[in-house]
Structure 1
Amino acid sequence: MDQNLLFATNSNPDLVDEIVRLTGLRLANYRLGRFADGEVSLHLDSPVALKVAFALGSFFPPAENLIELLTLVNTLHINGVAKVVAVIPYMGYGKSDRLDHPSIPVNARLFVQALEMAGVDQFITLDLHSQIISRYFRTTHLELSAMNLFAKRIETLGLTDLTVVTPDQGGIDRATSYAKDLGKNDIVVIEKHRPADDETEVVKINGDVAGKNLIIIDDMIQTGKTIQTAAAALKQAGADDIYTAVTHFVYSAGALETLNNDVNFKKIFITNSIPVPAGVKLSEKFEVLPTQEILAYAIKPLLTS
C-alpha cells in the first residue's frame, strides 16, 4: 500500500490533480463535507496509521477554509499518521503579524500555532506576507517563492529598460531577489504612509523611473489600493509601461474590477495560489501562472518509500 497520501480541503481544487500527476502521490479516500447545521464533517474511508499525510489547503476567506484545514490535520493526527505535512499555497491573516501593536490580534501567530497543536509536523508555504511570520513556526517550515516563476515569464516579453519596483519598504528583500533573477542590480523603493487601514499615500519614490518599463513586485493584492497608488505616482514620475507580478490575488476583497479598469497597468501577473472564483472571467490584462510545479518540487524529497 502507498506510504504517502494526499488529502485536500476544498480551497484549491485545481491544484489537487496536478500535484498527484507531478509527484505520484495517491489521493486518499476520505469525505470532507458538512453536517446539516453547516459544521465541517470529515470521514476517513481507509486506514492512515503510520502513513505520511500531505494536507493541501489554503485559508483565504471565508474562514471555512481554515476550519477545514484544522479539522483535516487533527483528524489525521489522532488517527495515527507518522507525519503531517501541511502544504499551504496561501496562508491568510498575514497582515496580523505584529507583536508591537498591543491593541490588535496577532492572528498569524495564532493560526500557525493552532495548526501545530492540531498536528502539523512540517509546513510548506508560498510567499508569506512578511518575514516576521517565519518566526512563529516551531516545527520545520519551508517557504517557497513564485518570484522565479514571474521572472521567467517576464523575460519572454523582451522588455528593455526594465526596472523592478517594490510598493513599500517591507518588500525590499522580495524585490531584490526578483531583480537578481532578472539579472538586475538595482530596484526602486516606494515609501508610503498609511493614514488608515487599506489606505496608502506615496511619500517618496527612491530611484529613477522616467522613461522606463516597470514591474511592481508584491506578495498579495487585496483591495489593490497599494499598487494602484504606487502606479499612479510612478506614471506621474514619467514611467513608461507598468507591469505587476503578485503571488496571491484575494478576489473577495474587491480589487478585480478596480484594477481591470485602471489604465496605468499594462499587465498583471498572478498565480493560482487562490483559484479564480466560479463565474469570474478574467480579462486579458490578467495572466495566471501555475504554482503546482513549485509545490511538487518541494513535496518530492519528502516522500517516503
Structure 2
Amino acid sequence: MPTVIEPKIISGNANRPLAESVARRMSLYRGMSVNLVDARVERFNDGEIFVEVFENVRGEDMYIMQSTSNPANDNLMELLIMADALRRSSASRITAVMPYFGYARQDRRTKARTPISAKLVANMIAEAGIERVLTMDLHAAQIQGFFDIPVDNLYASPIFALDIKNQFKGQLEDVMIVSPDVGGVARARELAKRINAPLSIVDKRREKPGEIAEMTVIGNVEGKKCIVVDDMCDTAGTLCKAAEVILEHGATEVHAYISHGVMSGPAVERVSNSVLKTLVLTDTIQPTDAVKNAPNIRILPTAPLFAQSIMNIWNGHSVSSLFETDVLGPIYEGIL
C-alpha cells in the first residue's frame, strides 16, 4: 500500500473530454502532473461491457468520471462495472463523479404501477462498491435521500452568476430571471438573489403529456432582458415556446441558462430557429458537433469546479464552500 494515498481519476466513455479537463485543472492546482488512469472500457460484439485497468490502484483514492447521459443504460453499466473492477483491485475509496445523473426525472410515482427509477439506480451504485457520489444540479434535491452513502450535489448557479455579471456588465438593472415552471422557482430564485435581479414565472398547463395547452407569464417582463433558468433541456420544445410567450409580454430579449444540455431529437434545430438570443449550457453532458456549431448556443466549462471539489473531498475539506460565487470567482478567473 502506498504511503501517501493519491487522488486518481478514471474515465468512462460518456464524457472523456471533461475528465481530461478535470485532470488538467488538478495538475494546475497541485503543481504536478495528474493523468487519467490508463484503462480500457470496451464492448464485446454482443454489446457487453468490458473494463481493464492497466495501473496499480491498490490503496488509492479513486474518482470515476462518468455522466449517465445518452446512451443512459450503457453509461450506467460502464460506471457500475468500473466500480466493480476498482473494488476488486483493492482501491481505498471509490467516488462516482457524475456531472449529470440520469434517471433523475423518475424520482416519485406519478401514477399507479410506475417505478421510482432514481432510487433503483441509487441502490445499484451503492451495491457496486461506490462510497460517495459527486454530481451537479440533481433534477430533484430529495434524490440525495435515496442514497445511504454521502452525496455532494454541486450547483451551476454560481457559475451562471459569474457569467451573467460578465456578459451583462452595466445592464444588470435590466435583467430579469424567469423560471420556466412553478417547480423550478427555487432554482431561479437562488440565481436571482446572486445577481440581485427580480424574478418572474412561466406557468404552463398541459392537456396531456408532451403537449402544452397554455402558457401564462406571472410578473411584469416588459422592457426586460429575460434569462430563463432550468436544470435540463431535452427536446427544447417548452423552452422555445416559453421564450416566444415572454417576448409577446414585452421583453426586449430572451436568453436561457441550462445546467444539463440533453439536447435530444430536434432540440438543436429548434433552438437555432427560435427567438432565443443565446442558450448557455454547461459541459456536464458532452456536447455534440451540432450543439458546438449552433450559432446561438454557448458552452460553460465545469472542469474547474469539479477539479476543486475532488481536491476538497480528497483533503477532507468542505465542498459546500464552493456554492459561493465569491469562492468560485478566483477559480474561474480568466475563463469566463
* TM bucket, shorter chain: over 0.9
What residue is the counterpart of 2:36 in the other structure?
Answer: 27
Task: Give the alignment partner of residue 235 of structure 1, picking from 244, 247, 253.
Answer: 247
What residue is the counterpart of 2:30 in the other structure?
Answer: none
What residue is the counterpart of 1:96 in the other structure?
Answer: 106
- 1:177 to 2:186 alignment: no
What residue is the counterpart of 1:272 in the other structure?
Answer: 283
Q: Quick one: structure 1 residues 99 and 177, their matched pair in 2 at CA, closer, same or farther if it must change by over 3 Å?
A: same
- 1:284 to 2:266 alignment: no
RMSD: 1.9
- One-letter amino acid of the counterpart of residue 283, structure 2: N
Indicate if the aligned counterparts of 1:199 and 1:225 stay in contact, CA closer than 8 A: no
| Greater Cα shift, 194-203 or 268-277 | 194-203
| Greater Cα shift, 75-84 or 264-273 | 75-84
Q: What is the rounded CA distance, in whole Å, between the counterparts of 1:95 and 1:196 in structure 2?
A: 18
What residue is the counterpart of 1:5 in the other structure?
Answer: 8
* Deviations 1:140-161, CA, capped at 9 Å, x for gaps: 0111111111121122223341
What residue is the counterpart of 1:107 in the other structure?
Answer: 117
Indicate if the aligned counterparts of 1:199 and 1:226 stay in contact, CA closer than 8 A: no
TM-superposed deviation, 1:280: 5.6
Q: What is the rounded CA distance, in whole Å, between the counterparts of 1:152 and 1:47 in structure 2?
A: 40
- One-letter amino acid of the counterpart of residue 62, structure 2: A
Q: What is the rounded CA distance, in whole Å, between the counterparts of 1:34 and 1:250 in structure 2?
A: 24
What residue is the counterpart of 1:81 in the other structure?
Answer: 91
What residue is the counterpart of 1:60 in the other structure?
Answer: 69
SS at match of 1:87: strand
Trace 1:31-42 onto structure 2 (pairs within 5 A).
31-42=40-51
TM-superposed deviation, 1:279: 6.3
Q: What is the rounded CA distance, in whole Å, between the counterparts of 2:8 and 2:51 in structure 1?
A: 16
Indicate if the aligned counterparts of 2:39 and 2:54 stay in contact, CA closer than 8 A: yes
- Residue correspondences, number: 303
Q: What is the rounded CA distance, in whole Å, between the counterparts of 1:172 and 1:279 in structure 2?
A: 30
Q: TM-score, normalised by structure 1?
A: 0.93
Q: What is the rounded CA distance, in whole Å, between the counterparts of 1:59 and 1:134 in structure 2?
A: 16
What residue is the counterpart of 1:197 in the other structure?
Answer: 209
Indicate if the aligned counterparts of 2:292 and 2:298 stay in contact, CA closer than 8 A: no
- 1:123 to 2:133 alignment: yes
What residue is the counterpart of 1:166 in the other structure?
Answer: 179
TM-superposed deviation, 1:52: 1.0
| Greater Cα shift, 72-81 or 242-251 | 72-81
- 1:245 to 2:257 alignment: yes
Q: What is the rounded CA distance, in whole Å, between the counterparts of 1:253 and 1:102 in structure 2?
A: 29
Q: What is the rounded CA distance, in whole Å, between the counterparts of 1:296 and 1:250 in structure 2?
A: 22
* Deviations 1:204-248, CA, capped at 9 Å, x for gaps: 322111121100000000011221221122112111100000011
* Deviations 1:276-299, CA, capped at 9 Å, x for gaps: 225664222111010001111211
* Deviations 1:171-190, CA, capped at 9 Å, x for gaps: 11110111111122x31112
Q: What is the rounded CA distance, in whole Å, between the counterparts of 2:36 and 2:250 in structure 1?
A: 52
- One-letter amino acid of the counterpart of residue 15, structure 1: L
Trace 1:132-147 onto structure 2 (pairs within 5 A).
132-147=142-157
Indicate if the aligned counterparts of 1:202 and 1:229 stay in contact, CA closer than 8 A: no
Indicate if the aligned counterparts of 1:52 and 1:304 stay in contact, CA closer than 8 A: no
Q: What is the rounded CA distance, in whole Å, between the counterparts of 1:148 and 1:167 in structure 2?
A: 19
Task: Give the alignment partner of residue 293 of structure 1, picking from 300, 304, 325.
Answer: 304
Q: TM-score, normalised by structure 2?
A: 0.85
SS at match of 1:303: helix
Q: What is the rounded CA distance, in whole Å, between the counterparts of 1:83 and 1:167 in structure 2?
A: 40
Identity percentage over the alignment? 29
Gaps of 5+ in 1: none
Q: What is the rounded CA distance, in whole Å, between the counterparts of 2:244 and 2:87 in structure 1?
A: 50
- Higher helix share goes to which structure? 2
